[in-house]
Amino acid sequence: MKKHSLDHHFASVSTLREINKMSNPNSYPAFASVKSKLESKQDKKAGFDLTGILGSNIYTSVVHSFVSLFTNSNTPKIEKDESIKEIECILDFTLRMHNDLNTIYFETVFLQKSNHNIMADLQQLFIDYTEPIAYSKELQDCRNSDDWGSVRKNLNVYLEELNNAIANSQNDKAHLMQINLHFPIDRLLQFITQYNIFIDQGGKFYEKFDIMLGSYENEQKCVDKIPAEYKTLKEGITVAVEKFNTAYKPIEINGSKMKEVLYGINEYD
């Protein structure tokens, strides 16, 4: 069910630290340099200093820097113009994209949590499937040890016992054994529906992210100033949209395998 690729994708899209770095001008050396120059030439009588908390805040920091820039009589006009030109792309990008980048981060965290819930349901589904055939390993252990042969062996033993019960007219026993098989099949159908909804939801989320990241209208003008992480994030989102529409959708489960589960039909028989 593409668990590892999905989980790796969600984890690698962005960390909160990377989002903060991209969306806060205080993380950019050029902006920090301008702030430092302004502070060194600040009129101590007319100026004021921000606290550590407000100094790291995107909005108060930007406002304070502009106020300092335009009210500082110790800084020549040409230097002020150069300072504005140096940081205009940084400020434009961070102020325009701050909310969008944070939205992408928090909604990705939501999708990652949903993916963990899907995996928990899948592991429980494996227990429901293998409990009637007396197989005790969990899904991860079975995968790690490539123990699928034991699962098939236990299932064949169970089916042989079921056939013997039917042949010997042990109707109650046969009926109970059949119910024990039908119950996990019902759970499987529920899980497939749940998984398909999750993948459709994820695809729509990432299509929205793609639109949000593509909405920065000054990208070409500021291409040399905006962070490389922004381009990397855009590329990752584009790849994700494609994967949600193809690789993450279990076509075989929704097609021929579904026929086998529902009707016992194998198109290759």
How far apart, in whole angstroms, are the C-alpha atoms of residue 41 and residue 29? 19
Tokens of 167: 């042949």
Burial class of residue 21 in the structure, from the number of CB atoms within 10 Å of its CB (0-12 exposed, 13-18 middle, 19+ buried): middle
Q: Domain limits of the chain?
A: 3-19+98-263
**pLDDT, position 268:** 43
How far apart, in whole angstroms, are the C-alpha atoms of residue 14 and residue 116? 17
Q: What secondary structure does DSSP assign to 2-54, as a single string? A: -HHHHHHHHHHH--HHHHHHHH-GGGSHHHHHHHHHHHHT--TTT-----HHH
**Residue closest to 1 by CA, chosen among 254, 249, 265, 217:** 249
How far apart, in whole angstroms, are the C-alpha atoms of residue 88 and residue 78? 15
**CB burial string 116-133: b at 16+ within 10 A, e below:** eebbeebeebbebbbebb
Weakly modelled stretches of the chain, pLDDT under 70: 1-16, 38-56, 68-75, 247, 249-269
| Tens digit of each residue's pLDDT (9 = 90 or more) over 56-92 | 677 777 777 777 666 666 667 777 778 788 888 998 9
Task: Find the helix or strand (DSSP H, E) in which 144 lies.
Answer: helix 139-144
HSE at residue 144, side-chain half, CA atoms within 13 A, is: 5
How far apart, in whole angstroms, are the C-alpha atoms of residue 183 and residue 233? 43
**pLDDT, position 154:** 93
Burial class of residue 150 in the structure, from the number of CB atoms within 10 Å of its CB (0-12 exposed, 13-18 middle, 19+ buried): middle
How far apart, in whole angstroms, are the C-alpha atoms of residue 156 and residue 148? 12
Whether 256 and 267 have beta carbons less than 8 Å apart is answered as: yes
- What is the identity of the amino acid at 165? A
**pLDDT, position 1:** 46
